[in-house]
Amino acid sequence: MAGPASVTFLCPACSRPVRARDLRPACPSCAVVIELREGGGWEANGPLARCAVCASEALHLAKDFNKNLGPLLVALGCIGFYWGALSGIVSLAVLTVIDRIVYRLRPEVTVCYACKAVYRDVTRNPRHLPYELTYDETFEGTGQKPGFRG
């Protein structure tokens, strides 16, 4: 683990990101104090059993990678096609190798399917599997907004 465990989620009042290291964080945007649930393992740096934001036990593993960076890398790789097909293929191949190296170097995070809270530097729970789209789709349309504490 790189440091103390933290959770990032959306504030239920203003929907801005909040990064917390304790059970009573204040939103940096609207100053609302948010009560997180204890007993899930996060606050004690133990294996995470359930989400401190929404109490869901539906958690998955993912790489800690900015999802907006992927399409940018593909766009940069496609610029090589301006000079021809061969240079385009070479630029995409180089970016594929770079992407693979970056992917292997990035740490793993635990993410809640229900509220999308992201847990960094927590002890890995062997019950949590990688992301599965069909399982995530069961949470669509449930009316549970990110950051909801219901």
Is 97 within the bounds of a domain? yes
CB atoms within 10 A of CB 83: 11
Which sign does the torsion angle of CA 120, 125, 128, 130 carry?
A: positive
Is 75 within the bounds of a domain? yes
Residue 117: per-residue pLDDT: 92
Report the 3 state secondary structure along 48-71: CCCCCCCCCCCEEEEECCCCCHHH
Residue 110: per-residue pLDDT: 93
In angstroms, the CA 39 to CA 85 distance is 56
Is 99 within the bounds of a domain? yes
Tell me the average confidence (pLDDT) per consecutive run of 10 residues in the chain, 150 residues long.
78 91 89 85 77 90 85 79 83 85 90 91 89 83 45
Is 143 within the bounds of a domain? no
Domain that includes residue 75, residue range:
69-104
Residue 1: per-residue pLDDT: 46
Number of domains in the chain: 1
Is 113 within the bounds of a domain? no
Is 96 within the bounds of a domain? yes
Residue 60: per-residue pLDDT: 94
Residue 149: per-residue pLDDT: 37
Residue 134: per-residue pLDDT: 84
